[in-house]
Amino acid sequence: MEGIVDLQVFQLLTAYIFILILLFIVRKRGIKREKEIIISSIRMTLQLILTGYILTYVFSNSNPFITISVICIMETFAIFNIYKRVKSPLSFNLKKIIALSMVIGTSVSILYFILIVLNLSPWYNPRYFIPISGMLIGNSMTGISLGVNKLVDGMISKKHIIETSLMLGATPKKASKSIVNNAFDSAILPTINAMVGMGIVFLPGMMTGQILSGISPLSAIKYQIAIMLGILGSVSLTVIIFVQLGYKTFFNNEHQLKL
Amino acid sequence: MFVLENIKYKDILNIKNLTIPERKITCLIGESGSGKTTLLKLLNKMISPTKGSIHFKNKAIKYIDSIKLRRNVVMLSQTPVIFRGTIKDNLLKGLNFSEKPIVNDNTLKEILSKVHLDKSLDLNAKELSGGEKQRLALGRIMLMNADIYLLDEPSSSLDENTEDIIINEFVKYIKTNNKTLVMVTHSKTIAKTYADNIIEINKGKVKGEI
Ligand SMILES: Nc1ncnc2c1ncn2[C@@H]1O[C@H](COP(=O)(O)OP(=O)(O)O)[C@@H](O)[C@H]1O
Ligand SMILES: [Mg+2]
């Protein structure tokens, strides 16, 4: 671990010059974004400082209860973030299904990854458990948000197609099949595309971080490959649970479209 | 065959008594917005009444499985919906959805000639004009060989000449096969020519009822 550059605070401060440049540009061009830029920079800084202290505490007090609590908090934030990201109004049932799919899809993937792939010991070791869960939950959140948007939009814009299918004697499942497939496909596509660009177009954040902190590139890519597969699994599992249960909320017991 | 009693659907329909006979041709007429489409949708359970009861062959419709009912009481909506794919794909869609056996290309061609659609089975259906799409949609439901048909203004995008030929053809199909037809039409001539039974809907009520 020799030769690691530990960033001094004043060095860090010099990096804020990039924010100043951006502020200068938007002001000069009359783009009204200054407030958002300032707020997001401050939020980023404060949130990361806070996270730094929290993680320091959590890492030095390794215990299963704390690890699980952190995961629960991340999961909750992720779920509310999804509700916020979806433009169309969500029914209560659909919200329940989003939460359920996130919890089941990510938990199964996290446990598999931690227990089988990494074979971590102790299993709750926060130094691994928390960042890995964060990546799986974060990516699943992005995936399912796309899926929800596509499903709701599809149900509304293809209303006549669904109605005609029902009139031709289709089950709700068959009538919404193409919309469900389309939602699933759009939700997993960004993850698949990310794999294609991996290592060539960009070095993923986690790998960059590991390399900067002194781990050999070959160890770093092993982790990166594993985590990428884990992400794909978690996104797929979460989204498939969501679409399989989600389309049903648009129909009632009489197999009528509730729109 | 259909017996409606004290039916209310939201503020749209209010029908005290209505009977639609089996193996007959019933025409629904009335101004636009009077509730004709809504009435048809009650008959195949695309919607359920807010109040009142509907019986189908002496059985309360609420105890009949919606999907089974719709496979027997097939409805054609006012604006034809065409699925992605060829004319053949579209014709087979009804059989697929209702889980009926697939038929061969010759049967499909016969259906096309019955609805006077002189096109190749492999033509992409989105190339068709509005009137042609409507005839395709009509062919699609004829293929399903249902007992009861509900047609919602089947000729609204056809010119008068084609309208006559197509309706005539469909009525012939209904009569020779002893089927039941309930048809919404804006044309009093069609109603007078073909209907055994004419029902006029006026502001959500059956005309003549109080
Ligand atoms: N899903 C619906 N919700 C509320 N009102 C509707 C709905 N569908 C139709 N309506 C209204 O009900 C009335 C009857 O509609 P409709 O049955 O389509 O009439 P018609 O087929 O005779 O032209 C119209 O005033 C229409 O605006
Ligand atoms: Mg209508």
Going by DSSP bridges, is the β-strand pair B59-60/B51-56 parallel, antiparallel, or unpaired?
antiparallel
| List of chain B residues whose C-beta atoms are within 8 Å of the C-beta of residue A174 | 96-97
Of the candidates A169, A254, A257, the beta carbon closest to that of B97 is on A169
Q: Quick check: CB of B185 below 6 Å from ligand 1?
A: no
> Which pLDDT score is estimated for A201?
72
Cβ within 8 Å, pair B70-A174:
no
Architecture (CATH level 2) of domain B2-209? 3-Layer(aba) Sandwich (3.40)
User: Per residue, what are the HEC states of chain B?
Assistant: CEEEEEEEECCCEEEEEEEECCCCEEEEECCCCCCHHHHHHHHCCCCCCCEEEEEECCEEHHHCCHHHHHHHEEEECCCCCCCCCEHHHHHHHHHHHCCCCCCCHHHHHHHHHHCCCCCCCCCEHHHCCHHHHHHHHHHHHHCCCCCEEEEECCCCCCCHHHHHHHHHHHHHHHHHCCCEEEEECCCHHHHHHHCCEEEEEECCEEECEC
More confident residue, B20 or A223: B20
Q: What is the pLDDT of residue B210?
A: 44
What pLDDT, on the 0 to 100 scale, is given for residue A209?
A: 84
Spatial distance between the Cα atoms of A253 and A231, rounded to a whole number of angstroms: 36
Please state the rounded mean pLDDT for residues B76-82: 93
Looking at residue A1, its pLDDT comes to 43
pLDDT at B209: 57
A198 CB contacts (<8 Å, ≥6 apart)? A204, A224, A228
Alpha-helix residue ranges (DSSP H) falling in A61-176: 64-85, 92-111, 126-157, 159-167, 172-175
DSSP letters spanning A148-208: HHHHHHHHHHTHHHHHHHHHTT--HHHHTHHHHHHHHHHHHHHHHHHHHHBTTTB--HHHH
Q: Cα(A90) to centroid of ligand 2, in Å?
A: 29
Domain coordinates in residue numbering, chain A: 1-60, 64-250
What does the pLDDT look like over B42-55, one tens digit per residue?
999 999 999 999 99
User: Is 0.90 exceeded by the ipTM?
Assistant: yes
- Output DSSP code: residue A255: S
Distance between CA atoms of A117 and B55, rounded to whole angstroms? 60
Kindly state if the Cβ of B155 falls inside 6 Å of ligand 1.
no
B208: pLDDT strictly greater than 80: no
List pLDDT tens digits, range B153-164.
Answer: 988 777 777 888
Residue pair B88/B122 in contact by the 8 Å Cβ criterion: yes
- pLDDT tens digits, A130-160: 999 999 999 999 999 999 999 999 999 999 9
A164 touches chain B (CB under 8 A): yes
* CB-CB under 8 Å, B45 with A169: no
Give chain B's mean pLDDT. 94
Share of chain B above pLDDT 70, in %: 99
A-B CB pairs within 8 A amount to 58
Q: Best interface-test mutation with A: which of B70, B84, B91, B136 has the largest number of A CBs within 10 A?
A: B70
Amino acid at A128: Y
